[in-house]
Amino acid sequence: MTIQIVLPGKVQVQLETAIRHYRNAAAALGEAVQSEAWDRIYALQSNRDLQAHTIALIVNGTPISFVAEGGQA
């Protein structure tokens, strides 16, 4: 199921930034795990968690207007 939502412009930019940082941290975390860089793993897990919490705050703190479910907006 796909749900498309509309967020205010500034909130949309903040959400996209947080998602980009989350994905970057997750990718870097995968590389750190492969190389067994334990100190880097710890730092990257913290960064990934921070971004996940940021995403949750943005989504939960913003009134969401649903545009479509499973279709084009």
Whether 38 maps to a domain, the answer reads yes
Lowest-confidence pick of 25-29, 47-51, 60-64, 67-71:
67-71
Assess if residue 25 is contained within a domain: yes
Is 1 inside a domain boundary?
no
Q: Residue 60: its pLDDT value, please? A: 84
% the chain with pLDDT above 90: 47
How many structural domains does the chain have?
1
Question: What tens digit of pLDDT does each residue of 37-57 get?
Answer: 888 998 889 999 999 999 999
In which band, very low, low, confident or very high, does the pLDDT at 22 lie, cut at 50, 70 and 90?
Answer: very high
Residue 59, classified by CB atoms within 10 Å of its CB into exposed (0-12), middle (13-18) or buried (19+), is middle
| Residue 71 located in a structural domain | no
Contact present, 69 and 3 (Cβ < 8 Å): yes
Show the domain range for 24: 9-65
Tell whether 73 is covered by a domain.
Answer: no
pLDDT at 7: 80
Residue 72 lies in a domain: no
